[in-house]
Chain A
Amino acid sequence: EDQVTQSPEALRLQEGESSSLNCSYTVSGLRGLFWYRQDPGKGPEFLFTLYSAGEEKEKERLKATLTKKESFLHITAPKPEDSATYLCAVQAYSGGYQKVTFGIGTKLQVIP
């Protein structure tokens, strides 16, 4: 069974204090790994898709990296507006369908 584990469950940072969120996964035949940002009461907002180990993608203060067992979302000099829950998901081919399994998320709070 595909599994996605995100850590920590919650993270509190001072504004400007860089850190990383972790997403470890167990899946047969990874087709893609996704990062989303979700604000309270809203739908997830797409951030990145990573397809193969060694791949990196950046967007503003966020950088996502991928290895064979895990992905990291690095947040550089975060601002209060980066506060949100960050979701990780993995995609694998299963029974004729590109099944996506989601983690529970990391709730990030950035304090001014």
Chain B
Amino acid sequence: DGGITQSPKYLFRKEGQNVTLSCEQNLNHDAMYWYRQDPGQGLRLIYYSQIVNDFQKGDIAEGYSVSREKKESFPLTVTSAQKNPTAFYLCASSEGDPTGGKETQYFGPGTRLLVL
């Protein structure tokens, strides 16, 4: 079964701590994305990667970092610089067609991050 997995489902962060959220896909997609979802707001893009070893900042990248060392994996680190990290974090992937014909994004189940 192809899909996107995220772990953990729930994550607790202490003040001053960095935490890493995992995202793995076996859809053979080139592009991967991280979004943040807060109540009453649309999904906001944190980072995206269109190809291995390359990634770009989205609209709200401050306080976050990513890596893309493998096609299947796109982990997100929430650093201590992110002062309001409590949110639902969603990872997505798409085929990455540069002509825009196959850019439907498919989402993982999400990770809820809470601050202790």
**A44-B90 contact given A97-B48, A102-B43, A103-B42, CB 8 Å threshold:** yes
C-beta contact mask, A10-50 vs B, less than 8 Å → 1, else 0?
00000000000000000000011010100001111110010
**Bound complex: CA of A32 vs CA of B43, how far in Å?**
17
Report how many residues on chain A are interfacial, defined by Cβ distance under 8 Å.
25
Query: Which A residues contact B (CB, under 8 angstroms)?
Result: 4, 31-32, 34, 36, 41-46, 49, 87, 89, 91, 93, 97-105
In contact, B103 and A32 (Cβ under 8 angstroms):
yes
**A31-B108 contact given A97-B48, A103-B42, CB 8 Å threshold:** no
How many residues of B sit at the interface, in one of the four size bands? 20 to 34
Query: Which B residues contact A (CB, under 8 angstroms)?
Result: 4, 6, 40-43, 45, 48, 50, 56, 88, 90, 100, 103-110, 112
In contact, A43 and B107 (Cβ under 8 angstroms):
yes
Which of chain A's residues have a CB closer than 8 A to the CB of B40? 104
User: What are the 9 A-B residue pairs with the smallest beta carbon separation, nearest first?
Assistant: A102-B42, A43-B107, A102-B43, A31-B100, A98-B103, A43-B110, A44-B107, A43-B109, A49-B104
Which of chain A's residues have a CB closer than 8 A to the CB of B103? 31-32, 91, 98, 100
In contact, B42 and A42 (Cβ under 8 angstroms):
no
Which of chain B's residues have a CB closer than 8 A to the CB of A4? 42
**Bound complex: CA of A98 vs CA of B90, how far in Å?**
18
- Among B45, B100, B110, chain A packs the most CB atoms within 10 A around the CB of B100
Q: From residue B86, how far is it (CB to closest CB) to chain A in Å?
A: 15
Choice from B4, B6, B105, B110 contacting A41 with Cβ under 8 Å = B110
Q: From residue B88, how far is it (CB to closest CB) to chain A in Å?
A: 8
**A97-B50 contact given A42-B109, A42-B110, CB 8 Å threshold:** yes
In contact, B110 and A34 (Cβ under 8 angstroms):
no
**A32-B110 contact given A44-B90, A101-B42, CB 8 Å threshold:** no
The 15 sampled A-B contact pairs (Cβ below 8 Å) are: A4-B42, A36-B107, A42-B109, A43-B4, A44-B107, A46-B105, A87-B42, A87-B43, A93-B100, A97-B48, A97-B56, A99-B45, A102-B43, A104-B41, A105-B42
